[in-house]
Amino acid sequence: MFNKNKSPAPSPQPRPSTPAAIPPLPDMPSAGAAKPATAASAAPAGTSSRGLSTLSSDLKFEGTISGAGDLQVDGQIKGDLRVGRLIVGETGAVEGNVSADYIEVRGRIVGATSGKQVKLVSTAYVDGDITAEQLSIDIGAYFQGRCVQGRRDAPAATAPKPVAAPASDLAPIPQQPAGQVIDMKPH
């Protein structure tokens, strides 16, 4: 019934010494792989369906960057930046005005920042004003500047109209040349 011969346990295979794969960013489709859209994994509004463009840490760029796509900055940019979604990595630095629907800062921004959602992670350094509908600042993040909460498109509240006095009750205001004193005491 029982066999006393045991097969030797498989010897562990040595793992290659390659760096671990970098996990995809949250709410971002990884390059070449389509994720099914679910309510739990829905990306912020305005996110493009294309992959994420990356400026790697060994690159420097001078000039204006604009477009509707998504950008991760791990290098350095001197100039204004206007994209759909922006992630400034820990080694990334932007010197200029930044505008995007979603902005996540792990690195450095020196300039005005404007977006619907702005998130400063604990490693962030931001020197400039931030205008955002939603702002998140983690403990440890550095922020120097003013913060203005942007307004959402909402119907304007109607203010009550002031009650005006009848025209017959108003006395005309005498016109005097500049520099003269008007005596307003009743005579």
Please give the pLDDT value at position 4. 60
Biggest distance spanned by C-alpha atoms of the chain = 129
What lies within 8 Å, CB to CB, of 126 at 6+ separation is 105, 108, 109, 110, 113, 120, 141, 142, 143, 144, 145
- Read off the pLDDT band of 150 (50, 70, 90): confident
Please give the pLDDT value at position 30. 38
Q: Give the mean pLDDT of the chain.
A: 74
Q: Beta-carbon neighbour count of residue 80 at 10 Å?
A: 17
CA distance 125 to 90: 10
Residue 55 has pLDDT above 70, yes or no: yes
- pLDDT tens digits along 90-124: 999 999 999 999 999 999 999 999 999 999 999 99
Residue 9 has pLDDT above 90, yes or no: no
10 against 51, higher pLDDT: 51
The CB-based long-range contact list for 138-143 (8 Å cut-off, 24+ gap) reads 141/105
Q: Is 118:99 a contact under the CB 8 Å cutoff?
A: no
Residue 46 has pLDDT above 50, yes or no: no
Supply the pTM of this predicted model.
Answer: 0.57
Residue 76 has pLDDT above 80, yes or no: yes
Residue 23 has pLDDT above 80, yes or no: no
- Read off the pLDDT band of 5 (50, 70, 90): low
Q: 114: burial class by Cβ within 10 Å (0-12, 13-18, 19+)? A: middle
Residue 69 has pLDDT above 80, yes or no: yes
Phi/psi at 89 (5° precision)? -70, 175
The CB-based long-range contact list for 52-57 (8 Å cut-off, 24+ gap) reads 52/25, 52/28, 52/87, 55/92, 57/89, 57/91, 57/92
Lowest mean pLDDT among 45-49, 110-114, 155-159: 45-49
| Residue keyed to tokens 């977006």 | 115
**pLDDT over 90, % of the chain:** 51
Q: 124: burial class by Cβ within 10 Å (0-12, 13-18, 19+)? A: buried
CA distance 123 to 129: 18
Residue 47 has pLDDT above 50, yes or no: no
**pLDDT over 70, % of the chain:** 53
